[in-house]
Structure 1
Amino acid sequence: MSDEAECEFARSSAPGASGAAARGTEREHRGGGRPVGETLRETLRTADGVRIEAAYDPYAGPAVTGDDGTAVRGLPQGPCAIVVAHGFSGSLDRPALRRAARVFTQYGAVITFSFRGHGNSGGHSTVGDREVLDLAEAVSWARSLGHERVATVGFSMGGSVVVRHGALHRRDGREGYLGERPGSDAQHTEAHERRTGAHPGTAAQPLEDFPGDATQPYARTHSDAVVAVSAPARWYYRGTAPMRRVHWVIQRPVGRLVSRYGLRTRIHPHDWDPVPLSPVGAAPALAPTPLLVVHGDQDPYFPLDHPQSLAGAGHPASTDLWIVPGFGHAENAAGPGLLHRIGQWVDARWERAAGGPA
């Protein structure tokens, strides 16, 4: 896909993982030492029963950036991992996400995954609502591999997810935030029925109705640092032509057919009910977790009031805002220089958490 359009129909034919590449087996949220020196493929199962394809790339060593070959200190193998959440119509095998993963492995181990309804993952996209559970499972996988600190980096839709995940899955283990009840779909309705024997009808179920494995508390799914790149601050924004096209894709039957066969993205056919907490509504709950908001001044999807309001809602002591000159939108436009800057920001937060120099 082009740098300009995350959802550009004509350039959306990148293939998903081949059978040989997607060689992982379904995890039961257990065991396994940290792999060394090789990419690991897995199929995760979310708390509401959706299968998610995921990949783990180990820490690759210190980064080298700049024309002068200046070395950027890397991190020791083990304690730190970065979980990367792609934008709408992306997947873990898209070239842009692989590029981001290669850069980030110079700062820690990296987990990439395909959101529900994307790539070879199951289910249907809820465009930022239930995707919080996909991210939570990827974070929990990172911790099960021995990583003590986990940062989440999200692009566009993924940016909204990492912010909401940070509020819903807190370091103190509290489940849910401000009573949010993410909307339901057929799959997690079935999961509820299997678990409880009750039929919840069409009403949305609260997050705590989907606890997953009871031996894996929600405290293990929290993030220690959050980076939202090109993220919306609020829902239903239609102020730009690209976002009007995105809404056509999401809300119209013909648009969902285009998405399914052109973008390889399966979208849930029903509207949110209820509407999930917006990113700007979730941001105040992140502190003391550090939040970095990154946005381009050439973003064709969301104007600058989105990152400004999102960063403004975060706690001033733990929130940073970067407006990047010339940067477009999401992972497709993020070059190595910007990705290295994000990796360095995460690196600095690890140092600060460890009591070293900021």
Structure 2
Amino acid sequence: MPCLYIGEKNISFNFHSKEFIKIMTLIPIILVLYVLVSICLTYMVHRKPRRPVNQKPDWGKVTDTIIPAADNGFLEVWRIEPDVPSKGIVVLAHGWSRNRDRMVNRAKMFGQWGYTAVIHSARDHGNSSKCRLMNGIRFGEDIEAVLKWVNEPVILYGHSAGAAGAVIAASRHPNLVKLMYLEGSYAETKPALLSLYKSFNKYFGLIFGPGIVFWMDSVLYRNKLGPLSPKSLAPNINVPVLLIHGEKDMTFPVKFAQSLAQSFPVNNARMWIAPGAGHSDSSQQPGYKSEVRKFLNENLENA
């Protein structure tokens, strides 16, 4: 009978026993089940329930319109002109599961400073067109559609998936972006997804996260998750960037944003960490408005 020597103990295995044969029979079944479940979950995570916000612009002149998007889709867009002559345009992009209403308070802040705000709902969000497998890359495509529609250099503000999409759009259209704000962003997509799933449920993330990310990258994204990660694109973005991040963000920890900040050209990026904030409430913390305004003044208004 074969033996395994561990320290001072001899452990015997009977490779012909019923128990061993049963275990060896179960292993391929478990592997097949894991593959099938991870494939199903890969589809399901793209169908994460939407949590739209209901908050309409209450300042300036509001135009509610529809613009064309990729793959024959369309986006609902608000363009809000300030009550004074406009200093420029700010395009704001929401994160996963939200809609354009999510960015209204941030947009209003810029409106009070004399800027035109343009806010859209990404495909498969709000009342924009459906998209069966919406993802971060398509968030970028939607921001590209808005940039082309505006057709002049803008300040680009993205939150979470909208921040990742903003990096993609800015890398493809450097002539249409003059300054960026990235709130709740991340550096590399694969680690970010694993962190996201663990924040939902630790065991779900540990067990199924790697399988979901594998199918997502190899099948759905055709191995583009790495090349289109914010960290990979950042070195080619030559505009001032302010990264805004919650100190206690458990979805994408602060170290993700710090890694991204270091990836931009030297002296282009700055970080502001919102004390006590989580993933989505940095804009509600003391100091947020003054930091955003200070960065704007230093790089555009007083430059």
Whether the aligned pair in 2 keeps the contact of 1:100 and 1:339 (CA below 8 Å) is no
Aligned residues: percent identity? Answer: 24
Quick check: 1:236 aligned with 2:198?
Answer: no
Whether the aligned pair in 1 keeps the contact of 2:230 and 2:260 (CA below 8 Å) is yes
**Structure 2 gap segments, 5+ residues each:** 1-47, 213-218
Report the CA distance between 1:243 and its aligned residue.
5.3
What is the CA–CA distance in structure 1 between the aligned matches of 2:112 and 2:256, rounded to whole Å? 30
Q: What's the counterpart of residue 100 of structure 1?
A: 106
What is the CA–CA distance in structure 2 between the aligned matches of 1:123 and 1:340, rounded to whole Å? 37
What is the CA–CA distance in structure 2 between the aligned matches of 1:140 and 1:347, rounded to whole Å? 26
Q: Decide whether aligned partners of structure 1 residues 128 and 141 sit closer, same or farther in structure 2, where only a CA change above 3 A counts.
A: same
What is the CA–CA distance in structure 2 between the aligned matches of 1:327 and 1:93, rounded to whole Å? 21
What is the CA–CA distance in structure 1 between the aligned matches of 2:285 and 2:247, rounded to whole Å? 18
Report the CA distance between 1:291 and its aligned residue.
1.4
Quick check: 1:54 aligned with 2:77?
Answer: yes
What is the CA–CA distance in structure 2 between the aligned matches of 1:290 and 1:13, rounded to whole Å? 31
1:219-230 → structure 2 map (5 Å cutoff): 222-230=176-184
Q: Deviations over 1:271-330 (max 9, x none)?
A: 22232410010100101x111111111112111221111000001222112222212113
Look up the equivalent residue of 1:87 and give its one-letter code. Answer: G
Report the CA distance between 1:234 and its aligned residue.
1.0
Look up the equivalent residue of 2:51 and give its one-letter code. Answer: S
**Structure 1 gap segments, 5+ residues each:** 1-8, 22-35, 62-76, 172-221, 253-269, 352-356
Quick check: 1:128 aligned with 2:136?
Answer: yes
What is the CA–CA distance in structure 2 between the aligned matches of 1:318 and 1:137, rounded to whole Å? 25
Q: What's the counterpart of residue 3 of structure 2?
A: none
Q: Deviations over 1:65-85 (max 9, x none)?
A: xxxxxxxxxxxx234111001
Q: Decide whether aligned partners of structure 1 residues 121 and 342 sit closer, same or farther in structure 2, where only a CA change above 3 A counts.
A: same
Q: What's the counterpart of residue 274 of structure 1?
A: 223
Q: Deviations over 1:199-245 (max 9, x none)?
A: xxxxxxxxxxxxxxxxxxxxxxx211111111021112323632558
What is the CA–CA distance in structure 1 between the aligned matches of 2:253 and 2:188, rounded to whole Å? 12
Look up the SS of the partner of 2:182 in the other structure.
Answer: strand
Q: Deviations over 1:119-161 (max 9, x none)?
A: 1111325321022221122123333xxxx54111000111111
Quick check: 1:292 aligned with 2:242?
Answer: yes
Q: Decide whether aligned partners of structure 1 residues 42 and 278 sit closer, same or farther in structure 2, where only a CA change above 3 A counts.
A: same
1:186-265 → structure 2 map (5 Å cutoff): 222-237=176-191, 238-239=194-195, 241-242=198-199
Residue-pair matches, total: 239
Q: Deviations over 1:8-45 (max 9, x none)?
A: x899364699xxx9xxxxxxxxxxxxxx9410011010
| Residue 170 (structure 1) aligned to one of 170, 174, 180 | 174
Q: Decide whether aligned partners of structure 1 residues 37 and 135 sit closer, same or farther in structure 2, where only a CA change above 3 A counts.
A: same
Look up the equivalent residue of 2:189 and give its one-letter code. Answer: W
Whether the aligned pair in 1 keeps the contact of 2:185 and 2:257 (CA below 8 Å) is yes
Report the CA distance between 1:46 and its aligned residue.
1.9
TM-score of the two chains, using structure 2 as the length reference:
0.69
Look up the SS of the partner of 1:239 in the other structure.
Answer: helix
Whether the aligned pair in 2 keeps the contact of 1:298 and 1:326 (CA below 8 Å) is yes
What is the CA–CA distance in structure 2 between the aligned matches of 1:101 and 1:55, rounded to whole Å? 11
Q: Decide whether aligned partners of structure 1 residues 312 and 78 sit closer, same or farther in structure 2, where only a CA change above 3 A counts.
A: same
What is the CA–CA distance in structure 1 between the aligned matches of 2:298 and 2:83, rounded to whole Å? 18
Q: What's the counterpart of residue 304 of structure 1?
A: 254
- Deviation larger for 50-59 or 340-349: 340-349
What is the CA–CA distance in structure 1 between the aligned matches of 2:83 and 2:284, rounded to whole Å? 19
Superposed CA RMSD in Å reads 3.2
Q: Decide whether aligned partners of structure 1 residues 12 and 280 sit closer, same or farther in structure 2, where only a CA change above 3 A counts.
A: same
What is the CA–CA distance in structure 1 between the aligned matches of 2:77 and 2:232, rounded to whole Å? 29
Report the CA distance between 1:163 and its aligned residue.
1.3
Whether the aligned pair in 2 keeps the contact of 1:16 and 1:120 (CA below 8 Å) is no
Q: What's the counterpart of residue 88 of structure 1?
A: 96
Look up the equivalent residue of 1:283 and give its one-letter code. Answer: A
Q: What's the counterpart of residue 159 of structure 2?
A: 155
More strand by share: 2
Whether the aligned pair in 2 keeps the contact of 1:135 and 1:165 (CA below 8 Å) is yes
What is the CA–CA distance in structure 1 between the aligned matches of 2:200 and 2:273, rounded to whole Å? 20
Quick check: 1:12 aligned with 2:18?
Answer: no
More helix by share: 2
